[in-house]
Chain A
Amino acid sequence: MTQANPLLSRVAESVYWMARYIERAENVARFIDVNHNLTLDLPHGDHDQWQPIVDTTGDRDVFLKRFGHATRESVIQFLAFDAENPNSIHSCVLAARENARSVREIISSEMWQQINTLYLLITSESRRATPSSLPDFCYSVRMACHLFQGITDVTMSHNEPWHFMRLGRKLERADKTTRLLDVKYFILLPSVADVGTPYDDIQWTAVLKSVGGFEMYRKCFGRISPDRIVEFLLLDGQFPRALRYCIGVADQSLHAITRTHRGGFSCDSEQRMGLLRSEIDFTQVDSILAGGLHEFFDALQLKMNTIDECIRGDFFARQALAAGAA
Chain B
Amino acid sequence: MQFSSYQTEGFYDEMFADDGRCRPHVQLVLDVIQSLSDGQLLRYKHAADRLLLQLGITFNVYGDTAGAERIFPFDLIPRIVPADEWDRIERGLKQRVHALNAFIDDIYHDQKILKDGAIPAGVVTSAVSYRPQCHGLNPPWRVWCHVTGTDLVRDRDGVYYVLEDNLRVPSGVSYVLENREVLKRIFPRVFEGLSVRPVNEYTGRLLEMLESIAPRPNGAPRVVVLTPGIYNSAYFEHSFLAQQMGVQLVEGRDLEVAGGDVFMRTTKGPERVDVIYRRVDDDFLDPEAFRADSVLGVPGLMAAYRAGRVALANAPGNGIADDKVIYAYVPDMIRYYEGAEPILPNVPTYLCWRDADRKYVLEHLHQLVVKSANESGGYGMLVGPHSTRQEQEEFALKIQDDPRNFIAQPTLALSRVPTIVDDHFEGRHVDLRPYVLCGKEIYVLPGGLTRVAMRRGSLVVNSSQGGGSKDTWVLAPSEEPQNGGQQQQS
Chain A positions near chain B (C-beta within 8 angstroms): 6-10, 12, 98, 101-102, 104-105, 109, 112-113, 116-117, 120, 160, 257, 315, 318, 320-322, 324-326
Contacts and interface: CB of A to CB of B under 8 A. Distances in A.
Contact of B243 (A9, A104, A325): A104
B254 A322 contact: no
B140 interface: no
Contacts of B250: 8
B230 A113 contact: no
Contacts, number: 82
B54 A120 contact: yes
Interface of B: 53-56, 229-230, 235-236, 239-240, 242-243, 248-251, 253-254, 256, 258-259, 261, 263-271
B263 A321 contact: yes
A120 to B, nearest CB: 7
Contacts of A326: 258-259
A112 B240 CA distance: 12
Contact of B267 (A6, A102, A320): A6
A12 B254 CA distance: 12
Contacts of A101: 56, 230, 235, 239
A326 B271 CA distance: 12
Given A257-B267, A322-B258, A326-B259, 10 more contacts: A6-B248, A6-B264, A8-B265, A10-B251, A12-B267, A102-B229, A116-B56, A321-B256, A321-B258, A321-B269
Residue picked from A105, A120, A160, A318, most chain B C-beta under 10 Å: A105
Nearest to B259: A326
13 contacts: A8-B248, A98-B230, A101-B56, A105-B240, A105-B248, A109-B55, A113-B54, A113-B55, A113-B56, A120-B54, A321-B265, A322-B259, A325-B263
A139 to B, nearest CB: 20
Nearest to A317: B265
Contact of B270 (A98, A257, A315, A324): A324
A98 B268 CA distance: 25
A116 B265 contact: no
B254 A325 contact: no
Could you tell me the dominant secondary structure of chain A's interface residues? helix
Contacts of B248: 6, 8, 105
B274 to A, nearest CB: 14
B253 A10 contact: yes
A318 B229 CA distance: 17
A109 B253 CA distance: 25
Q: Which secondary structure characterizes the binding site on chain B?
A: mixed
A105 B249 contact: yes
Contacts of B271: 6
B265 A10 contact: yes
A101 B56 CA distance: 9
Given A6-B268, A7-B266, A8-B265, A105 B230 contact: no
A9 B266 contact: yes
Top 5 A-B pairs ranked by shortest CB distance?
A105-B243, A325-B258, A6-B266, A326-B259, A105-B242
Contact of A105 (B54, B239, B267): B239
A116 B52 CA distance: 11
Contacts of B229: 102
Contact of A104 (B239, B261, B263): B239
A102 B230 CA distance: 6
Nearest to B263: A325
A112 B243 CA distance: 12
Question: Which of A8, A113, A117 has the most chain B CB atoms inside 10 A of its CB?
Answer: A8
A7 B259 contact: no
A287 B92 CA distance: 82
Contacts of A322: 256, 258-259
Nearest to B244: A105
B290 to A, nearest CB: 22
Nearest to A325: B258
A291 B300 CA distance: 58
Contacts of A102: 229-230
A9 B265 contact: yes
Given A105-B239, A105-B243, A116-B56, A9 B254 contact: yes
A318 B270 contact: no
B402 to A, nearest CB: 39
A322 B261 CA distance: 10
Nearest to B235: A101
B270 A325 contact: yes
A206 B287 CA distance: 58
Contact of A318 (B235, B259, B261, B265): B265
A120 B58 CA distance: 13
Nearest to B227: A102
B192 to A, nearest CB: 27
A116 B51 CA distance: 11
A117 to B, nearest CB: 6
Contact of A8 (B55, B259, B264): B264
A318 B271 CA distance: 14
Nearest to A105: B243
A8 B251 CA distance: 10
B241 to A, nearest CB: 8
Given A8-B248, A105-B243, A318 B56 contact: no
Contacts of A160: 267
A124 to B, nearest CB: 11
A12 to B, nearest CB: 5
B261 A325 contact: yes
Contacts of B240: 104-105
A102 B434 CA distance: 28
Contact of A120 (B53, B256, B264): B53
A120 B56 CA distance: 10
A116 B264 CA distance: 29
A324 B265 contact: no
Contacts of A109: 55, 243
A7 B240 CA distance: 18
Contacts of B235: 101
A112 B256 CA distance: 29
Contacts of B263: 321, 325
Contacts of B266: 6-9
